[in-house]
Amino acid sequence: MVRKIVFACDAGMGSSAMGATKFRNRLKGVRPDLTVINTSVDNIPVDCDVAGVQETLVERAKKSAPFAKIVTISNFLADPALDNLFFQLSTGDSIVTEAVKEEVEESKPVQEDVIQLDGIKLNLPSVSKEEAITEAGKLLRELGYVDGAYIPAMLEREELVTTYIGMGLAIPHGTTHGDDVIHKTGIVLLQYPDGIQFGDEKAQLVIGIAGKGGEHMEVLSKICLALEDEAVLNKMKTTNDKEWILKQLS
């Protein structure tokens, strides 16, 4: 019986967090008994029943969670494999006792300096994905979130597995680092209305992440909530209003 679903990416701080949040929100109305979390692919917990990973990480996932069912996905937000998993879970054992139901926590306000007005850049001309990732890294550095060494780490991370996660959104980030590289949690948003090419897909929003102690998770949750509303998502890709975007993510 499925009790725990784990979304796993290379570092466990970006795409898997978005995927877990979106899938958890999708399931809570029909299967509130299920636990949905995210982690790095090499740290999948032993009690994981189903692990959702990108194709390039399947072998590592099998070593980390040899008894889990592995679901291979191309992106964490909109994938037929996730639709199929949702269908199986929602039409299977749906009997839930009151004892195992979890209360849905109210959304907490995002810590004020995690995302700020100066960390939002709009109406940027299209460039290569490497240039866009570099610009996101430079902005994180300028705002005091990271050291300059974080930028090549972001580019290196992109070479391993794409940080494009679907629906016109990419969330580049480095792997885990110490206090000498990541000074504090921060997120920046770069808007490219004409899109940045990430393989066969285009991202209109490039959100650079420097995560420390999980503090960035609230912003990722806010982004997921925004993605649920197509009108909000589309406006975020084209608006000239920084204040409006900040309000959506705060």
Active-site residue, from 48, 173, 216, 224: 173
Which letter, b or e, does each residue of 42-51 get, where b requires 16 or more Cβ atoms within 10 Å of its Cβ? Answer: eebeeebbbb
Active-site residue, from 9, 48, 216, 224: 9
CA distance 90 to 244: 36
Tell me whether residue 9 is one of the annotated catalytic residues. Answer: yes
Partners of 9 in beta bridges: 40
Q: How many alpha carbons lie under 13 Å from residue 127 in its C-beta half-sphere?
A: 15
Closest alpha carbon to 193 in 111, 119, 117, 121: 121
Residue type, 158: E
Tell me whether residue 48 is one of the annotated catalytic residues. Answer: no
Residue 96 — φ and ψ, nearest 5°? Answer: -125, 130
Active site residues: 9, 173
